[in-house]
Chain A
Amino acid sequence: MIQDVNVKALKKNAFRQSKVRGETASRVRVPGGLVSAKSMARIVEIAEEFGNGEIFLTNRQGVEIPGIRLEDVPKVNALLQQIIEDTQINQEDTAHGYLASGTRNVVACPGKRLCPFGCYDTTAFAQRMDHEIFPNNRHVKVAFTGCSNDCAHVALNDFGIIGMTEPQYDPTRCIGCGQCVNWCQRRSVSALRLVNDKVVRDEDRCIGCGVCVVYCPTRAWTRSPEHYFRLKIMGRTGKQNPRLAEDWLRWVDEDSIVKIVKNTYAFIEEYINPDAPEGKEHIGYIVDRVGFDEFCKWVLKDVELPEKCERATRVYWGGKRYDRENDLR
């Protein structure tokens, strides 16, 4: 049998090149990490009919169906269509499976839909973001987490979005029990203290996690009607210089974040290393090369940050430079 396969096209079609000759794995996209039971059942059907009966759960909340014969790719794509529609992937083509794989699955913790500490609807924001940036071949990683616990590990992404609430304090409902002070210290950042049996919040230290609101027995603490976010940027794993994303904006709004991430694609097109393997380069390396100010110029185009938003004028990252030294100290 002649097997003549365009592997580059295969990869862009969201199939992995397997080390097993003749086989591939289908990478099912699950924006926000929420999949219907029906789609899950279809994934199982594909795995049983065309795969080897096994399913990988990926680190980015997607699903990979291994053991698919390369010649079955069109049939698998046909079956994927219902899942693509069910997960509301933003593409009109209905015959060829996923149209890109570069922009990775948008990750989200369960957020306010499930978690008592979640400060916003992570799933909905992740789905909105996916709709805005996919399909696209550029290698961009975006993740959403409901609060500063960062269960979704957004600090390992190009854009990590952390939910914030601005605690609202009604002293007339406060009995001075001190539970918010205690729990802020035990679970968060010690931003509260009692003065004259009422609570004083250190606004600079407060990270907007909402722990005080959760533990207040009287509703003296409530959440702000507005949902706010902390935007961390340019986190990455990898061989050369893995590093955690750092804070760039805080108390920022949803629309600004969407614009910033969308603007990033033009920045990448302009400055990506033409020799980058498979056209993939972590955005952070581009920022390192062209400078933070240039990055800001591109991604803040037409963005009007709200008055409340605080912005770091310059962001510095840590992380070991393995391309320079590999010593164990």
Chain B
Amino acid sequence: MGYVLDKEGLNRTLDALSEDFLLYAPVRKVGEGRFTDVDVVRYDFVRSVDDIELDAKSDYSFKEILTPLSQTLFYFTEDEVHEAGGLGAPGSPAGTADDRPVIVFLRACDLHAVRRLDQMYLGNGPTDTFYARIRDRVRFALLGCDHAFASCFCLDMGTNVAPEGWLFSLDRAGEGFACSVADDALAPAFAANAQGEKDVTPAHVTENEVHVRVPSKVPNSIYKDPLWDEYDSRCIECGRCCIVCPTCTCFTMQDVFYTDNGRVGERRRVQASCMIDGYTDVAGGASYRKKAGERMRFKVLHKVWDFRQRFGYDMCVGCGRCDDVCPEYISFAAIVNKLTDACECEEAKDE
């Protein structure tokens, strides 16, 4: 069922939903960007539509709720372990005391990304219980995309139309909003505050400026292909591409002993990036993939080849955030195309 709402109506609806849910959406953080007086759009808890950045692509993805940047898993004393509760940062609306489920507002590509995160944490060997605990509390609301942003390549990754799994959608419609409500249980909250009922189809992208061709076959010789060499000097190994990526799932562990009492502490897991130095450090001091080009190869092949070998579809969803954030103007889309060209070139040689 679809509804047309003005802003006040939508806010009353969100108020009603807030009785049962926390709302988590892209928010414009004024002046919190990298550079002076530049904003950043990242996810946070919201109360009304005025808090939500509906028009810009979020610089950082929704994944921070499912795989927090820094998450305390448990606290330990000498003979006891206490599992950390809640989700989100301590003191946030989703702290320990609040166990409402969370509705995450995201776009079609990001909802496709959820499937990748689930695949890695729930469908790749034993279930990750810390992920599952948060995931069980998370629902989704779809933000329509009536146009693509400059770096998007969702069409070529097949992620421009949202999969099922959202409770309701949200699009701008003139001065007001249009919502398609897929979950019948939520319909009364919309019906009570809507201006009218109407068939609503969430907008989706039908055209991208950026086009990407993924390789259909990657020969082992690509491992030593010179195409990676330029990134040895171009890439500064900052890992911003992975941090903003909605499908990067790598994490590392931090065991912390409180300084006043060296036998009490906590275990955290934090997001990690295969591009950041130290990622492949192993016991004994060895380190694999020392060069930035080698790290780039690992990352790119994971996104558009290796993941597909195991699960049958590509990891990358074409949101283009990595291209937007790279300080060195390294385009992931360009690398994928270079990779595909090189693979096809190798194949032609073999024939």
Contacts and interface: CB of A to CB of B under 8 A. Distances in A.
A217 interface: yes
A112 B35 CA distance: 8
A213 B29 CA distance: 15
Contacts of B258: 196
B69 A112 contact: no
B337 interface: no
A171 to B, nearest CB: 7
Interface stretch (A73-81, A175-183, A312-320): A175-183
A217 B268 contact: no
A195 interface: yes
A3 interface: no
Interface stretch (B36-44, B133-141, B172-180): B36-44
Given A217-B243, A219-B42, A174 B70 contact: yes
Interface residues of B, number: 33
A214 B32 CA distance: 11
Given A196-B256, A196-B257, A197-B256, A222 B273 contact: no
Contact of A214 (B34, B40, B254, B268): B34
Interface stretch (A55-63, A101-109, A114-122): A114-122
B70 A172 contact: yes
Given A173-B69, A173-B70, A120 B36 contact: yes
Interface string A179-217: 100000000000000011100000000000010011111
A186 to B, nearest CB: 12
A145 interface: no
Contact of A116 (B34, B254, B270, B272): B34
A119 B268 CA distance: 34
Interface in B17-53: 29, 31-37, 40, 42
A225 B42 CA distance: 17
A217 B270 contact: no
Given A218-B69, A219-B42, A165 B89 contact: no
Interface string B284-328: 000000000000000000000000000000000000000000000
A174 B268 CA distance: 11
Contacts of A219: 29, 32-34, 40, 42, 60
A195 B259 contact: yes
Given A175-B270, A177-B239, A196-B257, A213 B69 contact: no
B240 interface: yes
Given A172-B70, A174-B69, A176-B270, A218 B243 contact: yes
Contacts of A69: none
Contacts of A227: 36
Which among B29, B36, B70, B270 has the highest number of chain A CB atoms within 10 Å?
A: B36
Nearest to B40: A219
22 contacts: A112-B35, A116-B34, A118-B36, A171-B70, A172-B68, A172-B70, A175-B69, A176-B254, A177-B276, A177-B278, A178-B278, A196-B256, A197-B270, A217-B239, A217-B273, A217-B276, A218-B69, A219-B32, A219-B40, A222-B31, A223-B31, A225-B31
